[in-house]
């Protein structure tokens, strides 16, 4: 497998030499960039066959006891402790299984896993296995929220297009979101799944009252966005970030444009937005931007739907902007 050489730490995460001053609640704080090196090499040892099968053959291996026949996935034992340490043998198991429990969902990940969030993490019993394997879980329906994947949900193992020989090479999605051909295929790649066409929640037909509510909310949203644009702290929260978002509500729709520290809102339809937000009540977004409740909570509680799972990071940035404006008001009032 020929691959482009990559660094363990992407260049964008390597800070420049020097220091900066950040003003927090009227006080100046000196922030200095520094380093600590902890690079190391480690062997997969006796588990190498399992990881090589994932990376090079798109196979899922387990180990079967030669005495009792118990199949463990992943193959973490070379000898069975239940059978006087009889040796085990490697076998291939199927790539469809069921959730052993309802998985928790990680929305706010540490830096090491930030590019993976939001994701579920749960244990799957694959066909042909007697034990459960811990694996990440995603959905093709937009944002991963509680209730989409539960105990007993049937899932399909999916392989990353770029694989390194570790547990992040694979993840699972519900089989109900795939075609029968995809479910049956061994070694299904993430690029063979449609992640761009989730089914949007249906919004009831708007009434005159809905249109009035929308106009009032849009006026409030526009006022807050203008305040964010004039707030240095808030602008830093979206520095280097570019997104076009189509927001759909019961009373109307509008575009939210983010462009490297600049944010604006317009009553227009974006032809090819980076992602779509849907909320019956436009006040849901208004309250979030006004720091009267987190927008991230509205997503998690299914009051606001977004079309792409990984755009939760954009929602988080909007929450940070709302907090920055609120803190600046607090300092100004002191």
For residue 28, tell me if it sits in a domain. no
Name, in order, each residue with C-beta under 8 angstroms of 198's C-beta and a sequence gap of 6 or more. 140, 141, 142, 307, 308
Domain boundary among 140, 166, 192: 192
* Angstrom distance (rounded) from CA 244 to CA 261: 13
What are the strands of the beta sheet with 262-266, ordered from one edge?
Answer: 262-266, 253-259, 242-248, 275-278, 305-306
For residue 179, tell me if it sits in a domain. yes
Cis status, amide bond into 118, omega within 30 of 0: yes
* Angstrom distance (rounded) from CA 160 to CA 3: 14
DSSP string, 108-152: S--GGGGGG-SEEEEEEEETT-SS-EEEEE--SSSS--TTSS-TT
Across 315-332, average pLDDT: 92
Q: What percent of the chain has pLDDT over 70?
A: 99
Looking at the predicted structure, is the pLDDT value of residue 94 above 80?
yes
**Count of domains forming the chain:** 2
- The SS3 assignment for 309 reads helix
Residues 183 and 222 in one domain: no
What pLDDT, on a 0 to 100 scale, did the predictor assign at position 3? 62
Q: 254 lies in which domain range?
A: 208-333
Confidence band for 14, pLDDT divided at 50, 70 and 90: confident
Across 248-268, average pLDDT: 94
Count Cβ atoms below 10 Å from residue 201 Cβ, excluding itself.
Answer: 14
Confidence band for 159, pLDDT divided at 50, 70 and 90: very high
Per-residue pLDDT of 120-133, as tens digits, reads 999 999 999 999 99
Domain boundary among 163, 192, 221: 192
> Which secondary structure element, helix H or strand E, spans residue 332, and what is its range?
helix 312-333
Average pLDDT, the chain: 92
**Which domain CATH number covers 222?**
3.30.1050.10
Residue labelled with tokens 């999916």? 158
Confidence band for 29, pLDDT divided at 50, 70 and 90: confident
Count Cβ atoms below 10 Å from residue 271 Cβ, excluding itself.
Answer: 8
**Could you tell me the pTM of the whole model?**
0.82
* Angstrom distance (rounded) from CA 52 to CA 165: 6
Higher pLDDT, 179 or 331: 179
């Amino acid at each position: 497998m020929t691959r482009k050489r990559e660094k363990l730490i992407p260049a964008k995460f390597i800070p420049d030499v020097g220091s900066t001053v950040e003003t927090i609640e009227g006080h100046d704080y000196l922030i200095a960039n520094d380093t600590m090196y902890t690079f190391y090499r480690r062997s997969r040892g006796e588990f190498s066959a399992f990881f090589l099968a994932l990376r090079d053959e798109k196979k899922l291996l387990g180990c079967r006891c030669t005495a009792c026949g118990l199949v463990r996935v992943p193959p973490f034992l070379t000898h069975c402790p239940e059978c006087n340490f009889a040796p085990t043998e490697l076998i291939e198991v199927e790539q469809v299984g069921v959730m052993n429990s309802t998985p928790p969902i990680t929305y706010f990940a540490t830096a090491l896993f930030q590019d993976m969030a939001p994701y579920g993490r749960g244990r799957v019993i694959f066909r042909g296995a007697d034990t459960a394997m811990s694996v990440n879980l995603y959905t093709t329906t937009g944002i991963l929220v509680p209730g989409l994947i539960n105990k007993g949900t049937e899932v399909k193992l999916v392989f990353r297009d770029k694989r390194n020989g570790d547990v992040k090479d694979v993840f699972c999605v519900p089989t109900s979101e795939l075609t029968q051909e995809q479910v049956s295929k061994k070694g299904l790649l993430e690029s063979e799944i449609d992640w761009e066409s989730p089914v949007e929640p249906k919004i009831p037909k708007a009434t005159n009252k809905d249109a009035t509510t929308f106009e009032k909310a849009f006026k409030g949203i526009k006022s807050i966005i203008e305040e964010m644009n004039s707030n240095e702290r808030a602008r830093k929260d979206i520095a280097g970030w570019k997104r076009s978002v189509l927001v759909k509500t019961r009373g109307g729709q509008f575009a939210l444009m983010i462009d490297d520290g600049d944010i604006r809102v317009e009553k227009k339809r974006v032809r090819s937005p980076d992602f779509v937000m849907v909320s019956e009540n436009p006040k849901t977004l208004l309250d979030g931007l006004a720091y009267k409740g987190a927008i991230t909570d509205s997503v998690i509680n299914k009051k606001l739907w977004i079309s792409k799972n990984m755009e939760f990071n954009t929602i988080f940035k909007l929450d940070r902007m709302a907090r920055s404006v609120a803190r600046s008001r607090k300092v100004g009032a002191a």
